[in-house]
Every structure is written in structure tokens, then in C-alpha cells.
Amino acid sequence: MSDKQFFFPRQVVESGGNRWDWALLPLVLALLMLLAYGASQMARPYQVGEVLPLTLDPRYLPYYLLRTTLRMFLALGASLLFACAFAALAAKVRAAERVLVPLLDILQSIPILGFLSITVTGFIALFPGNLFGVECAAIFAIFTSQAWNMAFSLYQSLRTVPGELHEAARVFQLSGWQRFWRLELPFAMPSLLWNMMMSMSGGWFFVVASEAISVSNQNIKLPGVGSYIALAIEARDLGAIAWAIAGMLVGIVLYDQLFFRPLLAWADKFRFEEGSNEATPDSWLLTWVRRTERLRAIGLALVRLLERSFAVFRLHHDGTSIRARPAPANPMVSRVWDAAIAAAVLFAAWRLTVFIHAEVGWAEVLHVVVLALYTLIRVLVLIALAALVWVPIGIWIGMNPVWAGRLQAVAQFLAAFPANLMFPVAVVFIVRWKLNPDIWLSPLMVLGTQWYLLFNVIAGASTVPTELRYAAHNLGLTGWLKWKRYLLPAVFPSFVTGAITASGGSWNASIVAEYVTWGDTTLEAKGLGSYIAHMTAVGDFPRIALGIGVMCVFVMALNHFVWRRLYRLAEDRMHF
Amino acid sequence: MSPAIIELKGVVKSFKSADGHARTVLEDVDFRLAEGEIVSLLGQSGSGKSTLLRIMAGLIGVDAGDVRYRDQPLYAPARGVGMVFQSFALFPWLTVQQNVELGLEARGIAPAERERRAEAAIKLIGLAGFEGALPRELSGGMRQRVGIARALVVEPEVLLMDEAFSALDVLTGERLRDDILELWSRREMPTKAILIVSHNIEEAVLMADRVLVFASDPGRVRFQLSVRLPRPRDPDSPEVRELIDEVYALMTAGAARVTGRAAEEPVRRSIAERLPEADISRMEGLLERLAGEPFDGRADLPKLAEDTELTDDELLPLAQALSLLQLARIADGDLHLAPLGRRYVEGDHTLRQELFGQQLLSHVPLAAHIRHSLEQEPSGALPEEPFLQLLSESLAAEHAERVLRTAIEWGRYGEVYEYDYNTGVIHLPEGEANGVKDEEADS
């Protein structure tokens, strides 16, 4: 009697994947479907003047959330490409570096709103009759709030690749392409990811401004959470605001769990310094994906594709070939380049002078500088106040290891949460109690940025060496002496790091925080932020440019004269 | 004569320091690495030996002179050169296998072939079973094995080793060194020549066919020594000990010469002379050891190194500093306790500091100059910058900085002057200030 054997067709047997594949399949399919749906909605036919349907019905909120998130991720992708191109160019071509780095420094301190009104017409003209033009403008606006710090971090990382690794790459004949993927990008990965997360939070902050676009006296409100909030503010609907906050929370949790956490956990292997006892981040999704067969195979195939490109873009000659001979440096070329840069700067300065003289007048400049001083005072006072509150709390939390881990995550989350959603509540209070907006609007500026202080101080306090703690305890340090000699110096470096971020964020936030509307009530605090916001509302381009220019100068001066010095002081003297 | 693989003729290399002056690191260096030999470069830190190695690797270009690899001019790293780094220079995000495959991948070799060759190299160096590990999971010695496998897998003609064992503990370093020598003598590696940059004299003598001793400021070959003993060499055999003694004597010859002559005719020392970077408590420890049993005032340097468990580049600056301050004397690779050194050891803390300060002022011109300048100031204080500037006119910026650090540390100990880290101001000790008493913010 013969065994009756039953054979499955080959495709069925081998296409199986394992149970993890099957469990993950619905999630993958749902994501793909949502992406496709969102994308198709973005490229609808559209004429300027057409009113896009928008409702405060919370049932539409998931859809708006999808649209907004899609925009943010597109912008993030664009920022990533920009960062790679920028960093590669600036780190490898000296002539480019001398222009690009200062340029980025300036771009970094230009508030996002400034870009919107300039670019939107161009984008609409690029895709006539299609909504995608307006979408592009919104994406570009988000891009401008995300790209700079990513580009800067990548550039910094490329510049600080350890010398011996670089030499190893050269000795073992890696080409530029191979070096980028094998050495430079992996080395830069942790800080790049960190900056991507920061960028994402930064993007949320301006989501209202980027989705409600005004062009040629038209108000275009793209479907999204930002427009939803704008509509809720116009309609004075606190309930809708609450819904928006809830929706945003869900959105932040979702992309944190589905996107950043897995990435962070994966990127842990790129950590360069060893022996740091930071807990390795873990992600359920990454563990899951790593257990699948099919998805992993797809991932590995992509990696292999990249590796195959290494064989194509490789060095075909070694150091004994005439092609490896470095071109002799030509002093003429660099001199001409210097002259060109100097000429361009002079020309720009001249144009600026003429422009200010003709369009706004010097009195206005003086007025704006005074306004900027108001905002400067606000930023400094508020950061000092926030420090008074959060430094002791942060130290206390950081010294209690049980709490440190958990609360640090909470603080990071709070930093990611767009504080401007709370503004309407503040307006209601100020109007109710008839408070002075010049003073009471100010705290809104640090509402979102104070968390950087908190979680940096927590991080700093939790890394104080145990021996030092014992020593302080043993010496019986108490009271003010304990703070002066032990605790404050111990957290100073991380405090400065936090304060730099908080200060930059507060300047940017001043545009939103000094000029708050709630229905037809508009509260205004005297300052540079409200000036820019006001001029944007009116559409006075020269004055927007002036305001932004002055803000740039202030932010850069503050960075240069205060923060960078403190940072150097901290690096020099107060580290373990 | 065996054919040369790398040949350098009249190589000059200078680096531009921060203030724009060019410092000569290598001056007119000729060197020839021939097939079938192992060569060691010895010298103090900053003598340019690492620069020379990097020039041969094609990593650094030269200002003048001729660099040839197999008779071809060398502009960038050649394919036939493998290199092992002091810090291992492994890519921490790649596994052992991927790290070893790196050079093959860069050459566009197919994955299967790559895997085969990498596995062979990993096995050769004794790491089989660790292919999938990340470097951070491995100990230092194993990491350096990966570094060596990575260099060997590309079948280099020349293996350059830049202080490859100095980041490892003594035992691990010796094991690895013996393993390499074994591979070399059994011709199991394709390598035709090895160049080792080292600061460990014993290591150099045990491994090399030729030992080159480098002089600093600017770097040049001071002396060459052929070692014709068969390998493996026994570090305790009289021949090897004799050679090690000879190298010690050669390396300390400069310092010995100067102090030797100092008795008869005073040598005019330069203010911008490079001071040996010696830590004071170590100097005292060494002096005490020298005065005590079993040395009794006279010690063979290699023995002293063994006894104190100091490496050569830690011990030599100490010996030089002692000889500079005339607390001890170096002669023929031996360290002799000077009468003043005896008094120093026997004295109490106050006497020691006094002696130290006195010797510092009379034998270290920089310290004397600082003190002299301070005494002329009404406030008795001066910023460090002018001194730094003076030094950097004839020393590279980093060396200038280090020389001043050393002078400051010594001066502080000898109570010749004090230094405020926060403000970067050097001032006369408190109570000695000429005019207004200095305010001490943090004390």
C-alpha cells in the first residue's frame, strides 16, 4: 500500500511567512490604505477661490489628523533629503561650507511664518487647477520648521566623525558613496533621529499657521487639524478645541509608537560611545517586525539593493594612480571666491539699507528694535522663572532613579505637545479677570518650551556620579552651600543645553504667543512677535521682512553672546 | 638587497598651527621598507613617527620629497596597504563579519567570495564563532583581533601597525604580538613587510628586524639598529636584554648629554624647550623607589620600568624630568640618584617643595622667565597668553599648551607661582605679591 502524499503547490508552501507576518498584516494593509487615501485627497482638482468643506464635527477629526500627519511626514522626508544634501555639500566642499553654514544659521532663526506668504503663489502656479499646489505650500511651511536643525545636526556629525574611523575608511578604499552609507550616516544617526523628533514637535507648533493660508485676499483652509483649530477659534468653540487636543494626543502617541520608537530602538546600534548606562529604548513593534519572516525579507532585500550599489559606486583606482593626485591648491580661485562672497554680502547690505530707507523708514526700525527688546526681556525673565521652578524639581526627580525614567518620558512628551492649543484658555481667563495682556500673555511663550529645561535637568541630575553623591553626603553639605557647591554645578551643563533649546523655541513661539485671537477678541502684548503676527495678518510684506530680520539678529546675538559662552564654560569646567 | 615596497626620500612635512606658523614635523626623512622585514619606529610622543606612518599609508601628503609605493608615486592609500589602529577603529554598528568584509566590499568583491575570505581571516586570527557579534560585545584584545583580521583579509603587501597594542593591557598585548609573529614566521599571512609604530622598547626589540629611533622637533631618524636574533625571541635572554639596554641608552642620550656637560660648562637652555610631561607625585614615587631597595641609588631603566609597572613612554619623561631638575642623572641607560635627590627623598614635605622650587628656577628657563616677569608686575600677576604665544613661536600649538601646563604644574608645586584656572592668570604666591594682594575667589 502506498502512502498517499499530498503536495501543496510551491507558491503556497513558500509564500507562508510565519504567524508574526500574519499578525502584522492588517496593520501594514491599514497603513498602506490610509496613505493611499490621504494621498489621493491631496491631489484633487482645485481652483483658487473654491471653498474647501470644513466642519467642527469631531467625527471628521481622524480624517483631518490623517491629512495633517501625512503633510508632516512628507515635510519630514523632504527635510531628510535636504539635510543629507546640505550636510554632504557643506562637510566636503570647503568653498560651499563658507556660504552654507552662515546661511543656515540665519535660516534657522527665521520664523516659519515669514516663508509662507512668499512661497504660496509660486507653489499654486506650479500645479494649476490642483490642490497639490496649496498642499505643497503647506508642506513647505512645515519643512521650514523642521529642516534646519536636522541639516545642522547631520553636518555637525559629519564633521566630527572620529579621525581613525575616517582613516580606516580611506585605507580600506571606501569610495565617497560607500563612506556615506557605511560610516557617516550611521555615525550621525542617533543625533539625526533625535532632531527628527524635535522637528516633528516643532512642526505641530505651527500646524495652524501652515494650514490656514492666505493668498491674494483668499483664505484657504486645507483640511487638517490646524484648520480645525483655526475654525474652532473663530467659532469660539471650546469643546472643539478639547476634541482637537484629544485628537492630537492620539496622533502623537500613534506616530511615537509606530514610527519613532521602533526607529529609536533600531538606531540604538549606531550609538558610538560605549559604556553609557542609558537604558536601551525598546519597541514592541520593532520586536514584532524582527520576528516576522516576510517583512524582514523585504527589508533585507532593500539593504542588499543598497549594498549592490556599493559595487557600482566604488573606487576603481588606488592611491598610485594619477587620478588620485590631489589637484594643487589654487590660491587665485579661493581669493576670487572670497571676493565674490564679500561682494554679495556688501550688495545685500546695500540693498537692505535702501529697502529699509525707502519702504519702512528708520524710525520704524528703531521702533521694531525696541519691541524686540521687550520680547528679549520676556524670554530671559521667563526662562529664569522657569529655571527657578524646574531646576529644583528636576534635580529632585533626577536623584530618585525610580521616578527619573518615567517622568523624563512624560516631560519629553509634554515638550512635543503643541502648547498653543492651550492659548484660548488663557485668553478666556485674561478677558474674564481683565488682566494686563503685556504681562499675562508672556507665560504662553514658555508654556511649550519649559519642558526642555525640565527633562535636561532630570537627565543631568541622574548622571551625577554616585561617589560624588556619597561625598556630598559624607561632608554633610546642607542648605545653600549644598546647592552652590554641589547640585547646581552638577546640573549646569545640561541646564545650559536645555536653556538654549528653550530660548530658541520661545522666540519662535512669541509670534504665536504675543498675538492671540479667540473669536473676534484679539489680545496683543507689545513685542516683536506680535508685530510680526500683526503685519502678517495685514499682509504688509516689507514690515514682515523687517520684523523677521530684527528677530534673526536678536536670536543670533543672544546665541553668540550668551548661550554659546555659557555652553563653553560648561564644557570647559563643569563636566565629570 | 630585497626589493623595496615603500620608499621615502627627503620627506618634509609641516603642519600649520592655529596662529598660521608652519611647524616642521618631519625633516628630510629617508626610509625604505623592503620585502621580508619587520621594522619598528620608536620615539617619544610628538616625534612624528605616527605622521610618517600615515604618509606611508597615503593618508597624508608631503610638503617636499618623494613617496613611492612599488616605484609608483603615492597620492592616496594604496590597495596593497593594510593598517591596524591604536583605537581599533572598528565600525561599532557592523558585526565582526561585516567589519572584516569592509575592505572586500569596497573593492566590489561578490558576497559569497567575501564571506569565504572573511571567515578564513577570522579563523586565522582566532575569532571563529564571533562572526555575528558587535564590537561592543568584545573585549579590547578581541577587538584588536578584528582590526587585524580586517587588515589581513585584503591580503596586503604591507601591514602598518600604529601603536596597535598600546591600548591593551600588557598580557593581552603580548599574546596578540606573539600570535602575529607566529603567523609571520609560518608565512600564513600574505604580508611581505610590517611596519610597527610603538613606544614600547621591549616590543620593538622583540618583533623587529630593524629598530629606528626617532628624534623630535623636528622629527628625524636619530638612530638605526639591526636586530639579527632569530624569532621567537626570549625577552629574558641576555642578548635581548642587552639590546633593550642599548635602545634605552640611545633614547635617553639627548638628556644625558646635556646634563653630563652641565657640570663643566653651563649649557644655555632655550626657554621654549619642550618639557617632559611628568607628573610630580610620580616623579617623587620614582625617586623614592630609586633611593630604596633594591636599587640603592642606581637603576637599570628597563628594570625600573618592570618594577614600577610603568610603560616606557610613562617612565622616560619621568627620568628626563628628574635629570632636568638634577635630582637624578641618566647615563648609559641607567638612572643614578644625585646627592640632591638623596636630600630630597630624605626631606619632609616643606623641604621637598623648597628644593623643587629652587631646582625649577635654576634649571628650567621657562619657569625662571615666568617668575621674573611676574616679579616685575606691580600686581604680581600676568595672563598666560603671552607665554603661550612665546612658546608657540617655536613649538606646535598643542605642544606649547602642554609645555605651559607642565611649567605651571611644576611651578605651583614648587611654590614659585600660582595659577587661576578660571581666569587663566598666573600670579605670585599669596603673601609674596608685590602690590595688592590677589583676591582668591574660590578657595
In tens, the pLDDT along A282-340 reads 778 888 888 887 778 888 888 888 888 888 888 887 877 777 777 777 778 888 888 89
Higher pLDDT, A528 or B254: A528
Checking if the pLDDT of A10 tops 60, the result is no
A-chain residues within 8 Å CB-CB of B54? Answer: 167
Q: What is the per-residue pLDDT across B290-345, written as a single tens digit (0 to 9) for each?
A: 888 788 888 888 888 888 888 888 888 898 899 889 899 888 778 889 888 898 98
The answer to whether the Cα torsion of B200, B205, B210, B211 is positive or negative is positive
The predicted pLDDT at position A186 comes to 92
The secondary structure of B347-366 as a DSSP string is: S-HHHHHHHHHHHHHHH-HH
CB contact under 8 A, A171 and B81: yes
Q: What is the per-residue pLDDT for B194?
A: 94
Asked if B70 lies within 8 A of A270 by C-beta distance, the reply is no
Q: Which residues contact A243 (CB under 8 A, 6 or more apart)?
A: A58, A61
Contact A167 B54 (CB under 8 A): yes
Residue A387: partners with Cβ closer than 8 Å, 6 or more residues away: A453, A495, A499
Q: What is the pLDDT of residue B253?
A: 67
Q: Average pLDDT, stretch A554-568?
A: 85
Supply the DSSP string of A267-291, one letter for each residue: HGGG--S-S--PPPP--HHHHHHHH
Q: Which residues of A touch B92 (CB under 8 A)?
A: 269-272, 274
pLDDT at A98: 80
- CA-wise closest residue to B321 among B380, B368, B355, B274: B274
> Among B73, B85, B134, whose Cβ lies nearest the Cβ of A320?
B73
CA distance B136 to chain A (A): 7
A 466-525 residues with CB below 8 A of B?
none
Residue A529 has pLDDT above 90, yes or no: no
Q: Is A271 on the interface with B (CB under 8 A)?
A: yes
Q: How far apart are the first and last CA of chain B?
A: 67
Could you tell me if B71 lies within 8 Å of chain A, comparing CB atoms?
no
Pull the grid cell for residue B263.
657640570
Confidence of residue B438 (pLDDT cuts 50, 70, 90): very low
B75, B87, B111: residue with CB nearest A324:
B75
What pLDDT is stored for residue B259 in this prediction?
38
- A to B CB pairs, distance under 8 Å: 100
A417-459 tens-digit pLDDT: 777 777 777 888 888 888 888 888 888 888 877 887 887 888 7
Mean pLDDT of chain A: 82
Cα gap A296→A293, rounded to integer Å: 5
At A374-406, the pLDDT tens digits run 999 999 999 999 999 999 988 888 888 777 767
Find out whether B83 and B162 touch, Cβ atoms under 8 Å: yes
Contact assignment for A326 to B75 by CB distance below 8 Å = yes
Distance of CA A533 to the CA centre of its chain: 21
Summarize pLDDT for B55-79 with one digit per residue, the tens: 999 999 898 889 999 888 898 999 8
Could you tell me if A459 and A494 are in contact, meaning their C-beta atoms sit under 8 angstroms apart? yes
Dig out the grid coordinates for A251 from the structure: 496622533
**Does A272 reach chain B within 8 Å, measured CB to CB?**
yes
pLDDT digits (tens, 9 = 90+) for A461-470: 877 877 888 8
pLDDT at res. B443: 36
**Chain A residue whose CA is closest to B81:** A171
B43: left (phi over 0), alpha (psi -120 to 50) or beta: left
Tell me which residue in A183, A315, A320 faces B69 most closely, judged by beta carbons.
A320
Residue B150: which pLDDT band, with cuts at 50, 70 and 90?
very high
Total residues found in chain A within this entry:
576
Q: What is the dihedral of CA A472, A478, A481, A482, to 10 degrees?
A: 40
Contact criterion met (CB < 8 Å) for A307 and B79: no
- pLDDT the model gives residue A156: 85
| pLDDT confidence band for B437 (50 / 70 / 90) | very low
Chain B residues lying within 8 Å of A164, measured CB to CB: 85-87, 89
Q: Contacts of residue B105 in chain A, CB cutoff 8 Å?
A: 178, 307, 310
Tens of pLDDT along A56-79?
A: 888 889 999 999 999 999 999 999
The pLDDT confidence band at residue A113, using thresholds 50, 70 and 90, is low
- The Cα of B421 is separated from the nearest Cα of chain A by a number of Å equal to 9
CA-nearest residue of chain B to A322?
Answer: B75
Q: Min CA distance, B212 vs chain A (Å)?
A: 24
A residues 547-576 closer than 8 Å to B (CB):
573
Q: Determine whether the interchain pair B106/A175 forms a contact, defined as Cβ–Cβ distance below 8 Å.
A: yes
Exposure string (b/e) for A391-422, b if CB count within 10 Å is 16 or more? beebbebbbeeeebeebbeebbbbbbbbbbbe
CA-nearest residue of chain A to B62? A326
**Among A97-111, B122-136, B227-241, B370-384, where is mean pLDDT lowest?**
A97-111
Å between B158 CA and nearest CA of chain A? 12
Higher-scoring residue by pLDDT: B205, A105: B205
From A180's Cα to the closest Cα of chain B, the distance in A is 12
Q: Does A396 touch chain B (CB under 8 A)?
A: no
Contact B396, B13 (CB under 8 A): no
pLDDT at position A115 is 61
Within 8 A of A269 by CB-CB distance, chain B residues are 92-93, 134
Listing DSSP states for B203-263 in one string gives HHHHH-SEEEEEETTTBEEEEEEE--PPSSPPTTSHHHHHHHHHHHHHHTHHHHHHHHHHT
Q: How many CB atoms lie within 10 A of CB A428?
A: 14
Task: Kindly state whether B91 is in contact with chain A, defined as any CB-CB distance less than 8 angstroms.
Answer: yes
Q: Is there a contact between A173 and B79 if contact means CB atoms under 8 Å apart?
A: yes
Query: What distance in Å separates residue A324's CA from the closest CA in chain B?
Result: 6
- Which residues on neighbouring strands pair with residue B7, listed in sequence order? B32, B68
What confidence score (pLDDT) does residue B48 get?
A: 84
Nearest C-alpha in B relative to A304: B111
- Which pLDDT value is given to residue B99? 94
B146 touches chain A (CB under 8 A): no
- Is the pLDDT at B266 greater than 60, yes or no? no
Q: Which of A161, A170, A171 would you mutate first to test chain B, the one with the most B CBs within 10 A?
A: A171
Is residue B19 very low, low, confident or very high in pLDDT (cuts 50, 70, 90)?
A: low
User: What is the value of pTM for the model shown?
Assistant: 0.77
Picking from A170, A269, A315, the nearest residue to B59 by CB comes out as: A170
pLDDT-based confidence at residue B441 (cuts at 50, 70, 90): very low
The distance of A62 to chain B (nearest Cα, Å) reads 39
pLDDT in tens, A487-513: 888 888 888 888 887 888 888 788 878
**pLDDT tens-digit readout, B200-231:** 888 899 999 999 988 877 778 888 888 888 88
For chain B, how many residues are written?
Answer: 443
Tell me the DSSP string of B262-296.
Answer: HTTS-----TTPPPP---HHHHHHHHHHHHSTTTT
Question: Among A318-332, A342-356, B258-272, which range has the highest average pLDDT?
Answer: A342-356
pLDDT of A175 > 80? The answer is yes
Q: Which of residues 390-429 of B touch A (CB under 8 A)?
A: 421-422
Q: Which of B69, B70, B75, B422 has the most A C-beta neighbours within 10 Å, making it the best mutation to test the interface with A?
A: B75
Of the candidates B286, B346, B281, B349, the one whose C-alpha atom is nearest the C-alpha of residue B315 is: B286
Contact yes or no for B75 and A178 at CB 8 A: no
Whether ipTM exceeds 0.90: no
Cβ of residue B108 closer than 8 Å to a chain A Cβ: yes
- By C-alpha distance, which of B353, B367, B349 is closest to B405? B367
Residue A117 or A369, more confident: A369
Contact B102 A182 (CB under 8 A): yes
The Cα–Cα gap between A27 and A295 comes to 12
pLDDT surpasses 50 at A34: yes
